[in-house]
Amino acid sequence: MRTGSPTKPHPHDDAPDTAGAFARLARLPEGPERKMLRDELVEAWLPMAERIAVRFRGRGEALEDLYQVAALGLVKAVDHYDPARGNAFEAYAVPTVTGEIKRHFRDHMWTLHVPRRVQDLRNRVRYAVRELAQTTPGRAPTVPEIAAYARLTEDEVRTGMEALECFSALSLEAEMPGTDGYALGEAVGGPDPAFDTVVDRVAVRPCLEALPERERLILYLRFFRGMTQSTIAEQLGISQMHVSRLLSSCFAHLREELLAEAG
């Protein structure tokens, strides 16, 4: 389409010469004539939008879907371009189309790595649902219908449908469904201090087993039965001072053993 001469050189050799058409579009009121010219401009620049889409090929999204997203970005560029600013249309359209594609990846693609097979099932199921929706107005296509159209098993269809809901990860600040402002992060557990106790007990057990029987009994009575040194002394028939010295000796011995193992 040749409707005018550009005010500035185009960076692409095959860029259509549409400066005059955009100037006329800006002057036309809403109506059939304006809509027809708008559609002609979108069609003229569609090859450029598709070239931009091809740059994002191989990132887990079907090229046909990327073309559609790029076309949507192109329509937005045509609708919002202001030729009065003096810039060539593609200088405005390229970042607009690119931004639309990047936004699509941000909002509709995977946050986490998933197997290529699952991504393929998701794409085939989504395409089948979109096509079948035209022949089943008023209702969603069933799993058997999708399976027959996409040539998949029903289990594969269910996997693809589940994948459609798993593009992005929720923020820990997101509110959990069915709660009154309860954030997802509040349901995430923290480190359990009891784990440290378990580790310590496993580490010290061989050292305890190597102690003389009387020392093991004193430690048991003191720390597992909660008895005082005086009560232990009375039960064993020794002085409280002797119990204290035995405990200190046990502690020193266990500390040396554990530090030696750690080193």
Distance, CA of 102 to CA of 230 (rounded, Å):
75
- State the pLDDT at residue 165: 67
- State the pLDDT at residue 138: 79
pLDDT digits (tens, 9 = 90+) for 100-155: 888 887 666 655 556 778 878 888 888 888 888 888 777 888 999 999 999 999 99
Residue found under tokens 């998701």: 122
**Residues 26-37, mean pLDDT to the nearest whole number:** 91
CATH topology of domain 116-170: Arc Repressor Mutant, subunit A (1.10.10)
pLDDT digits (tens, 9 = 90+) for 216-240: 899 889 988 899 999 999 999 999 9
pLDDT digits (tens, 9 = 90+) for 37-78: 999 999 999 999 999 999 888 776 778 888 999 999 999 999
In contact, 236 and 216? CB cutoff 8 Å = no
Token pair of 50, please? 């598709």
Residue found under tokens 């305890």: 208
Sign for the CA dihedral angle at 216, 219, 224, 229 comes to positive
pLDDT digits (tens, 9 = 90+) for 142-201: 999 999 999 999 999 988 888 776 655 556 666 666 666 666 666 666 666 666 777 777
HEC assignment per residue over the chain: CCCCCCCCCCCCCCCCCCHHHHHHHHHCCCCHHHHHHHHHHHHHHHHHHHHHHHCCCCCCCCHHHHHHHHHHHHHHHHHHCCHHHCCCHHHHHHHHHHHHHHHHHHHHCCCCCCCHHHHHHHHHHHHHHHHHCCCCCCCCCCHHHHHHHHCCCHHHHHHHHHHHCCCCCCCCCCECCCCCCCEHHHHCCCCCHHHHHHHHHHHHHHHHHCCCHHHHHHHHHHHCCCCCHHHHHHHHCCCHHHHHHHHHHHHHHHHHHHHHHHC
Residue found under tokens 């500390």: 255
- Which residues make Cβ contacts (< 8 Å) with residue 132, sequence separation at least 6? 141, 145, 146, 149
Distance, CA of 50 to CA of 63 (rounded, Å):
9
- State the pLDDT at residue 195: 66
> Can you give the C-alpha Rg of the chain in angstroms?
36
Fold match between domain 19-108 and domain 116-170: no
- State the pLDDT at residue 187: 65
Strand partners, 148: none
In contact, 60 and 109? CB cutoff 8 Å = yes
Domain coordinates of the chain in residue numbers? 19-108, 116-170, 193-262
Rounded to whole angstroms, what are the CA distances from 185 to 171, 177, 190?
8, 13, 10
- State the pLDDT at residue 4: 41
Report whether CATH 1.10.3720.10 matches the domain 19-108: no
- State the pLDDT at residue 42: 92
- State the pLDDT at residue 209: 84
pTM, two decimals, is 0.43
Q: What is the CATH number of domain 193-262?
A: 1.10.10.10
Distance, CA of 36 to CA of 24 (rounded, Å):
12
